Chains A and B, each alone.
Chain A
Amino acid sequence: MDPSRKRKTRLVVALAAAVLLAAALVYTSFNTSSEAVDPGRLMASAVVGQSYELTGKVADGSVARDGSTMEFRVKAREGDASVPVRYTGAVPDPFREGREVIITVRKEGPIFVGEKDSLVTKCPSKYEAASETPS
């Protein structure tokens, strides 16, 4: 094969591989991602069995523990909408009332059940001031 044709073939193969990878990436990401919702949206339009990525704040005074199972309400960042969530397992260190959380949930009856190990609590930022003073 003459060199320029060889180069062309290589280029085509490389481009084809790139296109294939890109297609697989787009396909997989749209298929396996879950809709990111806030409590208001979730309350209004959740479908039983489908999983959602819920973002919001842990409502004050809502955390109740029973063994390693915990129930709490997730409140919208703005507005009053909140949804009940049940989560089983160890919670991340920074988890507490008022903290922002991200959790993958599935609707089961009146409550949203958190997927195991999906609870992410945002670290109180390095770049945000704490509001309390230690002694």
Chain B
Amino acid sequence: MEALGRACLVLALLVALYGVGASIHGARTRRREWVTSGRRAVYGVFALSAIAFGILEYAFLSSNFSFTVVATHSSTTTPWYYQAAAAWSSQEGSLLLWILLLSMWSSLVLFLTRRRMRDVTPYATATLLVFAGFFAALLIFSASPFTVTANPVVEGSGLQPLLRNPGMLAHPVFLYSGYTLFTIPFAFAVGALVVRRVDAEWIAATRRFSLAAWLFLGIGILLGSRWSYAELGWGGYWAWDPVENASLLPWLTGTAFLHSVMIQERRGMLKVWNAALILGTGILAILGTFLVRSGILDSIHAFGASTLGIPFVIFISVLILGSAYLVVSRQDALRAEHRLDSLLSREAVFLFNNLVLVALTFVILFLTFFPLIAEALTGTKRAIGPPVFDKFAVPLTLVLVLLSGIGPVIAWRKANAENVRRNFRVPIAAGIVALAVLAPFTFEKPLALGMFAAGAFVFGTIGQEFWRGVRARRAMASESVPVALVSLVGRNRRRYGGYTIHAGMAFLFIGVAASSAFQDATDERLSPGQSARISGYDVTYERPTGELLVRNGRLERLEFGAVLDVAKDGERVGRLTPNRGYYPTNTPNAPIRAAFEGEATSEVALDAGLRKDFWTAVSPDLSALEEEIRNRDAVLVAAAQKAGANLDPVRFAQLRRIYFEQILERYTDNPPPATFRLIVSPMVTWIWLGAILTFLGGLIALWPAARGDRAVSRASAGYASRVARELGRA
């Protein structure tokens, strides 16, 4: 099995190398059979990596511990769905997932464009295959998932408990889909630059892929923050950690790209900018993949020193130099066809939005790498905390939210006073009303207040656009409001999808502003019967809980928890039951203690609502059980030593289980004080709802148009780009 897997990877590398050669040769000699062969090489790489990935998944699902990665990342007590996900929790498996997704998306785009842009696609194919070849080479030479051992262990280590969360099943898949999808517009941009065909057709051909990349990366980021909020036991959803930032950077430049390409498509402007943006986004996606694995920056994610650093640095350097060369050498072809007519126009607002997004990208990039920059400049490593990030990111985001309300309704080319009056009267009024109503309660947090007003303004413009569209349709077709709404959105998916995204982002940032500015948090040490007060609520530690969880007849976890009563003005409003899980491990000299010294995870108790989240986590103080644990361990170790080779593992496990039960009982009968983290955060739910709305909007914009519309739009896009090209030459 492992030999087949390894053979697939070696073949994938060879096929990728062949495909690079075939595509470039075909493009240069204009021999279509070579180009076709190059494209088929991509399909081949996809098939080979799918087989390799299938073999790895099979090894995980069948708990084949002769595979080193399976033994170190899975176990028989790991539920099957986490076993499947454990495949990409390893360095090797995640790289394999990368190449699988890359080749899958590459195959899809090349299949869809097989009859279009015959000059550009061969170079795009070659670029995509270079990426595939790089990752195949890493998998063969540096991080092979198919390393096997002759003496497999009986039981594996299991999936890291912190990763046992539904969000973690999907988070890497979405993130990598986003990263790999961004390589597609990257590759087409390279192709377009190489052949100097820089009209909007490469953009139109890969538009859906750029949007899908943005959408998937966004979902991946959101799943990560949701996981952090619900699983990590600190109650936050964003910490400006280098690894979080690494995924945010290409998303920001991708957002800028999605906006600025509209200007190129419509007005033939910003060609250099768009090319540079997408090349930068592709490079940032690779940088993101690299940062997660390098350990060069101190991060909450300790990804250890890996051997992948040097190949990645070389690859990224080549990408940067190559991209810079392409843009600079093609400058003459990239000249804009029009100039900016007025600062009061949609082009100008989009451009401004782009500048702010790029500024935000630079700020985050600089601050993320600041420890290394400082060390290079001053000789001492310096560290930066989240407040510095906030200081720059918050105002810039505020501007972005405002622009997201202005952009959709301001006129192209030049807005006149009538346009401004007609489109902005209602939204500005909405913003001012929000400001006036909320100011008395929130004046001490001006930035949050600003965000609320900006959000109201965005709801105003977007709501007005929907309202006008529906009214127009009703006037034309006398449809009912819901029917008019559905047909309006269905006929202008890109436009109304975009509007929905803007409304979703406004929701999201209102949630971020409220929950970060008005959060109340406290750490309290309570004995049963004692209460703590937070945000006007009385939280009483009613009683401790203790439970032993068994899976497949084996101990999976011990849970020490608490029942908390939440009351307001003497009236009970809720009950929360946080707990902390401890995972027993096979450690011969401390069969009991090892459970408490190994991994532990918080099961957060969360009472979420539209107005506020009540978030609690418990850290039980187990020091009172010290003696109990020591005595039980002594008995078990003595019994094991006495029995020697005749030890009956079943009886031993039974005895250990009884001891664990006794310890739990002891804890619940004589509960020591426990430490609780209590957080009341307003409007966190708005973040998740906003995210859902955003991604709904993304799906609307992505959804293919009806067949008739599609033919028309393709014909008109083709015509438009041809005209633009001719004009460009003129």
Question: Do the two chains belong together in a single complex?
Answer: yes
* Residues B304 and A127 in contact, CB atoms below 8 Å apart: yes
| Inter-chain contact B599/A68, CB cutoff 8 Å | no
Residue A92 CB within 8 A of the other chain: yes
Which residues of A from 84 to 135 have beta carbons under 8 Å from B?
A: 88-94, 96-97, 100, 102, 104, 117-118, 120-135
Kindly specify which of B106-114, B387-395, B404-412 makes contact with the partner chain: B387-395
Of A94, A121, A127, A135, the residue contacting B653 (CB under 8 A) is A135
Please determine whether B594 and A132 come into contact, CB atoms closer than 8 angstroms. Answer: yes
Within 8 Å by CB of B157, from A67, A121, A122, A130, lies A130
Shortest Cβ distance from B228 into chain A, in angstroms?
Answer: 11
Q: Determine the chain A residues whose CB is within 8 A of the CB of B385 once the complex forms.
A: 32, 34, 104, 118
Segment at the interface with A among B509-517, B584-592, B686-694: B584-592
Q: Report A-chain residues with C-beta under 8 Å of the C-beta of B302.
A: 100, 122-125, 128
In angstroms, how far is the closest chain A Cβ from the Cβ of B11?
A: 26
Nearest Cβ on chain B to A1's Cβ, whole angstroms = 12
Residues of B within 8 A of A122 (CB): 299-302
B183 close to chain A: CB less than 8 A? no
B204 at the interface (CB under 8 A from A): no
Expressed in whole angstroms, the Cα–Cα distance for A88 and B293 within the complex equals: 32
How long is the Cα–Cα vector from A53 to B584 in the complex, in angstroms?
A: 34
A134 touches B382 (CB 8 A): no
B425 at the interface (CB under 8 A from A): no
Q: Does B370 contact A (CB under 8 A)?
A: yes
Query: B91, B391, B583: which contacts A127 (Cβ < 8 A)?
Result: B91
Question: How far is it, in angstroms, between the C-alpha of A90 and the C-alpha of B521 when the chains are bound?
Answer: 11
- The answer to whether A91 and B619 touch across the interface, beta carbons within 8 angstroms, is yes
Closest residue of B by beta carbon distance from A3? B339
User: B303 at the A/B interface (Cβ < 8 Å)?
Assistant: yes
Among residues of A, the one whose C-beta sits closest to the C-beta of B586 is A133
- B72 & A129 in contact (Cβ 8 Å cutoff): yes
Interface flags, A1-45, vs B, CB<8A=1, else 0: 001000100100010001001101100111011111100000000
Query: What is the total number of residues of chain B having a CB less than 8 Å from a CB of chain A?
Result: 77
Interface presence of A55 (CB below 8 A): yes
Contact mask B602-616 → A, CB, 8 Å, 1/0?
A: 100000000000000
Distance between A9 CB and nearest chain B CB, rounded to angstroms: 11
Contact mask B494-523 → A, CB, 8 Å, 1/0? 000000000000000000000000000001
Contacts of B676 in A (CB 8 A): 90
Contacting residues, chain B, for A89 (C-beta < 8 A)? 523
Q: Contacts A90-B617, A97-B597 hold; do A127 and B293 have CB atoms under 8 A apart?
A: yes
- Distance between B636 CB and nearest chain A CB, rounded to angstroms: 12
Tell whether, in the assembled complex, residue A29 and residue B366 are in contact, meaning their CB atoms are under 8 Å apart: yes
Chain A residue with minimal CB distance to B584? A135
How many inter-chain residue pairs (CB < 8 Å) link A and B?
172
B384 contacts A135, C-beta separation under 8 Å = no
A7 to B391, CA, bound (A): 31
**Bound: A135/B75 CA distance, A:** 9
Which B residues touch A133, using CB under 8 A? 75, 153, 155-158, 585-586
Residues of chain B within 8 A (CB-CB) of A68 are 523-525, 675
B341's nearest neighbour on chain A, judged by CB, is A3
Contact A125 B586 (CB under 8 A): no
B90-145: which residues lie under 8 A (CB-CB) from chain A? 90-91, 94
Q: Provide the residues of chain B in CB contact with A128, threshold 8 Å.
A: 302-304
Which of A21, A34, A92 has a CB less than 8 Å from the CB of B382? A34
A90 touches B384 (CB 8 A): no
Chain A residue nearest in CB terms to B300: A120
Please determine whether A135 and B163 come into contact, CB atoms closer than 8 angstroms. Answer: no
| Shortest CB distance A73–B (Å) | 17
Given known A-B contacts A32-B384, A35-B381, A67-B673, A127 and B303 have beta carbons under 8 A apart = yes
- Is A132 a contact of B587 with CB atoms below 8 Å? yes
With A29-B388, A129-B72, A135-B555 as contacts: A36 and B383 at CB distance below 8 Å = yes
Complex alpha-carbon distance, A104 and B298, angstroms: 13
B160 CB within 8 Å of chain A: yes
Q: How far is the CB of A6 from chain B (nearest CB, A)?
A: 9
* Complex interface: chain B residues within 8 A of A25 (CB): 363, 366-367, 392
A55-74 contact mask (Cβ, 8 Å, vs B): 1 or 0: 10000000001011000000
A90 near B677: Cβ-Cβ < 8 Å = yes
Minimal beta-carbon separation of A64 from chain B (angstroms) = 9
Q: Are A30 and B584 in contact (CB under 8 A)?
A: no
Please measure, in the bound complex, the distance between the C-alpha atom of A21 and the C-alpha atom of B358, giving whole angstroms: 12
Residues of A within 8 A of B355 (CB): 14
Given known contacts A3-B339, A36-B371, A134-B583, A126 and B382 CB-to-CB distance under 8 angstroms: no
Q: Please, how many angstroms separate the alpha-carbon atoms of A129 and B158 in the complex?
A: 10
Cβ of B562 to closest chain A Cβ, rounded Å: 14
Docked-complex contact A132 and B233, CB < 8 angstroms:
no
Instruction: Give Cα A30–Cα B340 distance, bound, in whole angstroms.
Output: 38
B8 CB to closest chain A CB (Å) equals: 22
- Chain B residue at minimal CB-CB distance from A119: B234
**Residues of B close to A92: CB separation below 8 A:** 232-234
B717 at the interface (CB under 8 A from A): no
- Which residues of A are found within 8 Å of B83, using beta-carbon distances? none
> What are the residues of chain B within 8 A of A88 when measuring CB–CB?
523
Q: Is the CB of A123 within 8 A of B162?
A: yes
Interface string of B147-188 (1 = CB under 8 A from A): 000000101111010110000000000000000000000000
Residues 643-689 (chain B) with a chain A CB within 8 angstroms = 653, 656, 673, 675-677
Residue contact A126 to B677, C-beta cutoff 8 Å: no
Q: Does B479 contact A (CB under 8 A)?
A: no
Set of chain B residues within 8 Å of A134, measured between Cβ atoms: 75, 77, 155, 157-158, 583-586
Interchain nearest-CB distance for B306 vs A (Å)? 7
The answer to whether B359 has its CB under 8 Å from any CB of chain A is yes
Known: A21-B359, A25-B363, A25-B392. A93 touches B585 (CB 8 A): no
Contact residues in A for B554 (Cβ distance below 8 Å) = 135
Q: Judge if B49 is at the interface, Cβ distance under 8 Å.
A: no
CB–CB A90/B306 < 8 A: no
From B94, B391, B676, name the one whose CB has the most chain A CB atoms within 10 angstroms. B391
A58 to chain B, nearest CB (A): 12
CA distance A30 to B163 in the complex (A): 36
Residues of chain B within 8 A of A67, CB atoms compared = 525, 673, 675
A135 to B433, CA, bound (A): 61
Please report the C-alpha to C-alpha distance between residue A16 and residue B555 in the assembled complex, in whole angstroms. Answer: 64
Interface: B29 (CB within 8 A): no
From B649, which residue of chain A is reached at the shortest CB distance?
A: A135
| A43→B282 CA distance, assembly (Å) | 44
- Collect the chain B residues with CB atoms within 8 Å of residue A35's CB: 380-383
- The residue in chain A whose Cβ has the minimal distance to the Cβ of B380 is A35
Which of A24, A29, A34, A124 has the most chain B CB atoms closer than 10 A to its own CB? A29
Known contacts A28-B391, A35-B380; decide if A130 and B299 are in contact (CB<8 Å): no
Q: Beyond the given A10-B343, A134-B586, A135-B653, could you list 14 further A-B residue pairs with CB under 8 A, ordered by the A residue number?
A: A29-B370, A35-B381, A36-B298, A90-B234, A117-B234, A122-B300, A125-B304, A127-B303, A127-B306, A128-B303, A132-B585, A133-B153, A134-B157, A135-B584
16 contacts between A and B (CB under 8 A): A7-B340, A25-B392, A28-B388, A29-B366, A29-B388, A30-B382, A55-B298, A90-B234, A118-B385, A125-B303, A126-B90, A128-B302, A129-B73, A133-B75, A133-B156, A135-B653
